[in-house]
Amino acid sequence: MERNRWYKDAFIYQIYPRSFKDSNDDGIGDIKGIIEKLDYLSFLGIDAVWLSPVYKSPNDDNGYDISDYRDIMDDFGTLDDWKLMISEMHKRNIRLIMDLVINHTSDEHEWFKKARKDVNSPYRNYYFFRKGINGKKPNNWTSFFGGDAWEYNPDTDDYYLHLFTKKQPDLNYNNPKVMEEIKSIINYWLELGVDGFRCDVITLISKDKDLPKGKWNVALVGKEHYLNGKHIHEYLHELYRDAFSKYNAMTVGESVLMDVETAPYYVKEEREELDSLFTFEHMDVDNFFGVKYLMRKFKLKRLKKVLSKWQDKMYGIGWNSLYLENHDQPRSIGRFNTKLEYHDLGCKMLATMIYFLQGTPYIYQGQEIGMTNGDFKTIEDFKDTETLNILKVSRKMGIPKSYIMKAIFKRSRDNARTPMQWDNSANAGFSKGTPWIKINDNYKSINVQDNIKNKNSVLNYYRKLISIRKNNDIVINGKYVEHYKQDKNLYVYSRVYNDKYILVISNFSDKNQKFDLMDEFKNKKSECLLANYDDVVDINSFLLRPYEARVYYFE
Exposure letters 237-264 (e unless 16+ CB within 10 A, then b):
ebbbeebbeebebbbbbbbbbbebeebe
Q: Which option in ligand ISL, Ca ion, none does residue 328 bind, with CB closer than 5 to 8 A by kind?
A: ligand ISL
What is the spatial distance between Cα 550 and Cα 288, in angstroms, rounded to a whole number? Answer: 32
Decide: is 256 part of the binding site for ligand ISL (CB under 6 A): yes
Q: How far is the CB of 151 from Ca ion (least distance, A)?
A: 31
* Minimum CB distance to ligand ISL smaller for 68 or for 510: 68
Decide: is 69 part of the binding site for ligand ISL (CB under 6 A): no
Binding to ligand ISL (CB under 6 A): which residues in 478-517? none
Q: Is there a catalytic annotation at residue 254?
A: yes
| Burial class of residue 201 in the structure, from the number of CB atoms within 10 Å of its CB (0-12 exposed, 13-18 middle, 19+ buried) | buried
* Minimum CB distance to ligand ISL smaller for 291 or for 468: 291
* Minimum CB distance to Ca ion smaller for 434 or for 467: 434
Q: How many residues bind ligand ISL (CB under 6 A)?
A: 14
* Minimum CB distance to ligand ISL smaller for 50 or for 336: 50
Provide the greatest CA pair distance for the chain: 78
Q: Which option in Ca ion, ligand ISL, none does residue 64 bind, with CB closer than 5 to 8 A by kind?
A: ligand ISL
Binding to ligand ISL (CB under 6 A): which residues in 263-322? 292
Binding to Ca ion (CB under 5 A): which residues in 23-52? 24, 26, 28, 30
Decide: is 384 part of the binding site for ligand ISL (CB under 6 A): no
Decide: is 144 part of the binding site for ligand ISL (CB under 6 A): yes
What is the spatial distance between Cα 34 and Cα 41, in angstroms, rounded to a whole number? Answer: 10
Which one is catalytic: 107, 181, 200, 328? 200
What is the spatial distance between Cα 407 and Cα 405, in angstroms, rounded to a whole number? Answer: 5
Q: Which option in ligand ISL, Ca ion, none does residue 308 bind, with CB closer than 5 to 8 A by kind?
A: none
Residue 37 near residue 51, CB atoms below 8 Å: no
* DSSP labels, 359-406: SEEEEETTGGGT-------SGGG---HHHHHHHHHHHHTT--HHHHHH
Q: How far is the CB of 443 from Ca ion (least distance, A)?
A: 18
Interface map 153-182 toward ligand ISL (x if CB under 6 A): -----------x------------------
Decide: is 201 part of the binding site for ligand ISL (CB under 6 A): yes
What is the spatial distance between Cα 411 and Cα 334, in angstroms, rounded to a whole number? Answer: 12
The closest of 553, 554, 398, 344 to 469, measured between CA atoms, is: 553
CA 527 to chain centroid: 33
What is the spatial distance between Cα 2 and Cα 506, in angstroms, rounded to a whole number? Answer: 39
Q: Which residues contribute to the site for Ca ion (CB under 5 A)?
A: 22, 24, 26, 28, 30
**Which chain residues interact with ligand ISL by CB under 6 A?**
61, 64, 101, 144, 164, 200-201, 254, 256, 292, 327-328, 386, 413
**Residues labelled as active-site residues:** 200, 254
